Amino acid sequence: MNLCSPPQASGRPWTPSQGRIIAQWGMRLPPIVRCRPPMALPRGLASSLDFAKVKTEDEFLATLSGAEAAGVLPGDVARIWRDFYFSYKEAVLGSGRPEATEALVVEVQASIAERVLVDMADPYTFPSYHERVLAPYNYFEFGQRYAGALIDFQNSVVGHLERWDGVEAQIEAGHNVVLLANHQTEADPAVFAHMLGATHPRLAQDVIYVAGDRVVTDAMCKPFSMGRNLFCVHSKKHMDDVPELREEKMANNRRTLAVMARKMNAGGLLMWIAPSGGRDRPDDAGAWRPAPFDAASVEICRKLATRSKAPGHLYPMAMLSWGMMPPPKTTSKALGERRITNYSGVGVSLCEELELGDTAGQNGSAEGLAGLAEARVVEEYNRLVAAVGDPRARGTMPECVQPWLRTAVGV
């Protein structure tokens, strides 16, 4: 038995749709599987910092402190992590799930710490296109495990399954599909995969995310990013954080665009991009709504879709996930933000496809196309807010469904 591989069924890798659904729990999560390559640490020190041996909260916190004292884990990261641990513990234990135990919290947190230390010992540099890593360590299941414990599946929804059916058919026909989505948490890729895993596992796993600087450089983000297919770019919001690196960042973006174009010429690609350039933030009154779409980003997607050798399609998509991992209220240049977690309902819903022609958007303008995409996302987002937040409202919205619960009762 390969201890670095996930459970298998019928010779095929485990997928979210194969997990049994428990009505109180939501989706059954795969067991954490650890693979421990040698770490570049002094003899005798590596064994004392082996998070794979951690079984209790006291052991986890002691090992974390040992890593800090040894200089293996920077002090600022260790301080943030302690806060993160207790926030995650409160969210998971407060869920009321049968499997929501302190042992589960420790296991998940220890697996994250192990992956962070492995990367610190042998840092991974993300290329323009990164293909998710499934062996010898399955980073995809690692990310799904962490996020799944925070999702209230009883109060989560996926919208317009018939539209997702259409997207899947387009991709199977060799077309390209670009999702123009709002973005709310670092865990959005895991949310997307959990919401679609029961009905559209291929879309849930094969999607390629357009990823900015932070998720491929922040120490606590990198292991989760390694489990996703990524096109790596530098966001406009952070292009000038270090002025002397601006030209290098722009050159990297050009290389990534070239890779995107080649892959879209081959066809059959599903790409997820947040045209706002970052996560949504609350307004002054504390209300959350999708951030404005950048017209230039939408126009680039339109050009990629229409100039490709394979037919292309653009779909706006709404995501509701901020309650699970609310980002800081303001953006910051510094890496290492505080992680707050909650047990929360989430939602994903696909809007109607945008009509693309030789000109860009309404009245031939890039701004018109971006405005139309944003308006559709806001409209669908408001539906998600109602469906996730109020079971009675959800009962009047047949487009918002919970396929994982249907699986639970054998429908």
Contact at 8 Å (CB) between 65 and 55?
no
Secondary structure of residue 144 in the 3-state scheme: helix
Contact at 8 Å (CB) between 6 and 13?
yes
Does any domain span residue 305?
Answer: yes
**pLDDT, position 25:** 35
Global pTM? Answer: 0.86
Do 98 and 166 fall within a single domain?
A: no
Does any domain span residue 69?
Answer: yes
**Token pair for residue 171?**
């991709």
Do 171 and 117 fall within a single domain?
A: no
**Token pair for residue 280?**
């949504």
Cα of 328 vs its chain's centroid, Å: 17
Over residues 34-93, the pLDDT tens digits come to 444 434 444 555 556 788 889 999 999 999 999 999 888 888 889 999 999 999 999 999
Percentage of residues in the chain with pLDDT exceeding 70?
Answer: 80
Over residues 207-222, the pLDDT tens digits come to 999 998 888 888 889 9
Does any domain span residue 1?
Answer: no
Average pLDDT over all residues of the chain:
84
Do 156 and 281 fall within a single domain?
A: yes
**pLDDT, position 227:** 97
Residue 302 scores a pLDDT above 50: yes
Do 152 and 226 fall within a single domain?
A: yes
Contact at 8 Å (CB) between 298 and 370?
yes
Do 109 and 166 fall within a single domain?
A: no
Does any domain span residue 131?
Answer: no
Specify the CATH number for the domain of residue 298.
3.40.1130.10
**pLDDT, position 48:** 60
Specify the CATH number for the domain of residue 72.
1.10.1200.50
| pLDDT bracket for residue 330 (50, 70, 90) | low
CB-neighbour burial class of residue 159 (10 A; exposed 0-12, middle 13-18, buried 19+): buried
Do 72 and 188 fall within a single domain?
A: no
**pLDDT, position 106:** 97
Helix ranges restricted to H, 227-348: 246-266, 295-307
Question: b or e along 77-96 (b: 16 or more beta carbons within 10 Å of the residue's beta carbon)?
Answer: bbebbeebbebbbebbeebe
Higher pLDDT, 40 or 154: 154
Residue 333 scores a pLDDT above 80: no
Do 271 and 177 fall within a single domain?
A: yes
Higher pLDDT, 6 or 114: 114
Do 311 and 362 fall within a single domain?
A: yes
Residue 407 scores a pLDDT above 80: no
Do 57 and 181 fall within a single domain?
A: no
DSSP tag of 282 = B
Question: b or e along 266-305 (b: 16 or more beta carbons within 10 Å of the residue's beta carbon)?
Answer: ebbbbbbbbbbbbbbbeeeeeebebbebbbebbbbbbbbb
Q: How far apart are CA 195 and CA 228, in angstroms?
A: 16
Higher pLDDT, 25 or 166: 166
Residue 276 scores a pLDDT above 60: yes
Does any domain span residue 2?
Answer: no
Does any domain span residue 21?
Answer: no
Candidate ranges 95-99, 119-123, 130-134; pick with highest mean pLDDT:
130-134
Do 155 and 221 fall within a single domain?
A: yes
Q: Catalytic site residues?
A: 122
Strands (E) located in 108-227 = 129-130, 157-159, 176-181, 208-211
**pLDDT, position 242:** 58
Residue 249 scores a pLDDT above 70: yes
Do 327 and 375 fall within a single domain?
A: yes
| CA distances, 118 to each of 51, 52, 206 (Å) | 11, 12, 25
Residue 411 scores a pLDDT above 90: no
**pLDDT, position 5:** 28
Q: Where a domain ends, among 93, 123, 153?
A: 123
Provide the domain limits for residue 283: 145-408
Do 66 and 168 fall within a single domain?
A: no
Residue 324 scores a pLDDT above 60: yes
Domain count, the chain: 2
β-partners of residue 229 are 208
Over residues 163-188, the pLDDT tens digits come to 999 999 999 999 999 999 999 999 99
Does any domain span residue 12?
Answer: no
Does any domain span residue 161?
Answer: yes
SS3 percent helix, strand, coil of the chain, rounded to 5, is 45, 10, 40
